[in-house]
Structure 1
Amino acid sequence: MKTSNNTILITGGSAGIGLATAKAFLEKGNEVIITGRDAKRLEQAATQLPGVHTLVSDVSSEAAVDELVNTIRTKFPKLNVLINNAGYAAYHTLAVGEESWKEAEKEIYTNYISVVRLTEKLLPILHQQPAAAVVNVSSITAYAPGLRIPTYSASKAALNSYSKILRLSLQDTNIKVFELMPPLVNTDFSAVIGGAANGIPPGEVAADLLNSMEQDVYSIHTGKTAAIYDLLKESPTAALNALNGVTA
């Protein structure tokens, strides 16, 4: 997959991995559109990304998604790369009284259902291009769930399953499907679980994504994620314990 001269939509592009990915693609000569719910954060992002297009949009709102798709259809008809990066995570445990189902509902809707909806609505535009791609930003917790992000992990497991079957469904078309699994990243999103101290820079994730897309590596395991994935093949229990710092 070429990583230049594309028209790219990145959801949740105002900060973190989304912002770093937008920067990396802009530097490669792509037209990049980023979305986010917060207009001020998008404005701040635009000051760091000369030439980027910003659209205020909430992936969890069906009306907002329909408006976004109409805007893409009319203003960016050459869109050929969709990066589903927007996400939501709640940090909690499954202890009695936590009401985890409330967070699970938000996470499954934002991290899974919203991705399915936006992707489905943009597929007709992607099909019109000579070459196209969908990138879903997932998590290694899809395979080895985290104690402090249990329902987030479950939502990413759903996204992982969807990514695999979408790739299979589109294998004879012009659309390639990539799944990016970052490790702990130094972003505001993961600060509460140690991202600031132990996470890698989001730019490393973006660089790995571009490199993997150029080589048509469809399942992208960045940084320590690769080690957990390798361990998973040997022992799912060992991978689960390693991710959660549990000694057997």
Structure 2
Amino acid sequence: MVLQNNTILITGGSSGIGLELTKKLLERKNKVLICGRTLKKLQRAKQKLPSLHYLQCDISKPSDCKQLRNWVLENHPHCNVLINNAAIVHVENFYRDDDILKKADAEVQTNLMAPIRLSKLFAPILNNNKNPGIINITTGLVYVPRTIYPFYNATKSALHSFTQVLRSQSTDSPIDIVEVQFPAVDTPWHQGNPPDIAIPTEEAVRKMIEGIEKGHKEVQVGKVKLLYLLSRLAPNFAFRKLNSL
């Protein structure tokens, strides 16, 4: 997959990795569409990057996923790449939070069901255009869970599994199915408290693009490859080490 001269939709493209990715893809002569829940963030992104296009929507809602599909179909029918980037996280104790099930549902709908829905809704649009692709953003935590996240690890692990199955079932389809697994990245996602091992957003996005353009179907950014190897060779050590950081 060559990330140039495409029309690319990025969910959660108004901040963090999504915004940096939007910037880099615009520099590479792509038309970039983004969506997000917060209008002010979308407007700020537009001010920084005037050539992008945006739609405010909440992809955790099936109706908003359909609204997004219709907006793209009507206004940007040449869309050929979908990047499922949007995600949320809760740092909570499962037993102590009375609202924990509501938070679990929110993460499942945003981090897992939305990429599944959008992949299904957008497949006909992507198939109508050259060089179609779906890129799902996950994390090295699909191999070793971080215990401060009661649901995030599970939703991303499920998305990892779904992506593998989708790739297998796409052998007769022109759609290229790619997964990008990030380590900790220094973004607003960490709410001002990124771990010491977090890498800069610019580095994360640069390595993502390099891996995709080399033809990798699973792009393991930064130390994700090391975490994967440790999880295979010494899973208990990997679990203890990751959760001591």
TM-score bin (small chain): over 0.9
Does the 8 Å CA contact 2:139/2:180 hold for their aligned counterparts? yes
Provide the C-alpha distance between the structure 2 equivalents of 1:186 and 1:14, rounded to a whole number of angstroms.
15
1:194-222 alpha-carbon deviations (Å, 9 max, x no partner): 41654212121211121111111111111
TM-score for both structures, normalised by structure 2: 0.94
Provide the C-alpha distance between the structure 1 equivalents of 2:36 and 2:225, rounded to a whole number of angstroms.
29
Provide the C-alpha distance between the structure 1 equivalents of 2:55 and 2:35, rounded to a whole number of angstroms.
5
Residue 93 and residue 158 in structure 1: after superposition, are their counterparts in 2 closer, same or farther (change >3 A)?
A: same
Residue 224 and residue 54 in structure 1: after superposition, are their counterparts in 2 closer, same or farther (change >3 A)?
A: same
Corresponding position of 1:204: 203
Corresponding position of 2:221: 222
Count of aligned residue pairs for this structure pair: 244
Residue 135 and residue 57 in structure 1: after superposition, are their counterparts in 2 closer, same or farther (change >3 A)?
A: same
Question: What letter matches 1:70 in structure 2?
Answer: N
Corresponding position of 2:114: 114
Question: What letter matches 1:165 in structure 2?
Answer: V
Corresponding position of 2:243: 244
Q: What is the CA distance between 1:233 and its match in structure 2?
A: 2.2
Provide the C-alpha distance between the structure 1 equivalents of 2:178 and 2:237, rounded to a whole number of angstroms.
26
Question: What letter matches 2:62 in structure 1?
Answer: E
Provide the C-alpha distance between the structure 1 equivalents of 2:198 and 2:231, rounded to a whole number of angstroms.
21
1:3-39 alpha-carbon deviations (Å, 9 max, x no partner): 1000000000000000011111001000000111111
Question: What letter matches 2:200 in structure 1?
Answer: P
Q: What is the CA distance between 1:180 and its match in structure 2?
A: 1.1
Corresponding position of 1:30: 30
Q: Secondary structure at the match of 2:151?
A: helix
Corresponding position of 1:160: 160
Tell me the percent identity. Answer: 34
TM-score for both structures, normalised by structure 1: 0.93
Provide the C-alpha distance between the structure 1 equivalents of 2:195 and 2:51, rounded to a whole number of angstroms.
29
* Unmatched runs of 5 consecutive residues or more in structure 1: none
Provide the C-alpha distance between the structure 2 equivalents of 1:7 and 1:180, rounded to a whole number of angstroms.
19
- CA RMSD after TM alignment: 1.5
Provide the C-alpha distance between the structure 1 equivalents of 2:10 and 2:195, rounded to a whole number of angstroms.
23
Q: What is the CA distance between 1:225 and its match in structure 2?
A: 1.6
Does the 8 Å CA contact 1:5/1:29 hold for their aligned counterparts? yes
Does the 8 Å CA contact 1:228/1:242 hold for their aligned counterparts? no
* Unmatched runs of 5 consecutive residues or more in structure 2: none
Does the 8 Å CA contact 2:184/2:195 hold for their aligned counterparts? no
Provide the C-alpha distance between the structure 1 equivalents of 2:93 and 2:185, rounded to a whole number of angstroms.
21
Q: What is the CA distance between 1:91 and its match in structure 2?
A: 0.5
1:171-193 alpha-carbon deviations (Å, 9 max, x no partner): 2321111111111111111236x
Provide the C-alpha distance between the structure 2 equivalents of 1:239 and 1:196, rounded to a whole number of angstroms.
17
**1:170-185 correspondence to structure 2 within 5 Å:** 170-185=170-185
Question: What letter matches 1:135 in structure 2?
Answer: I
Corresponding position of 2:60: 60
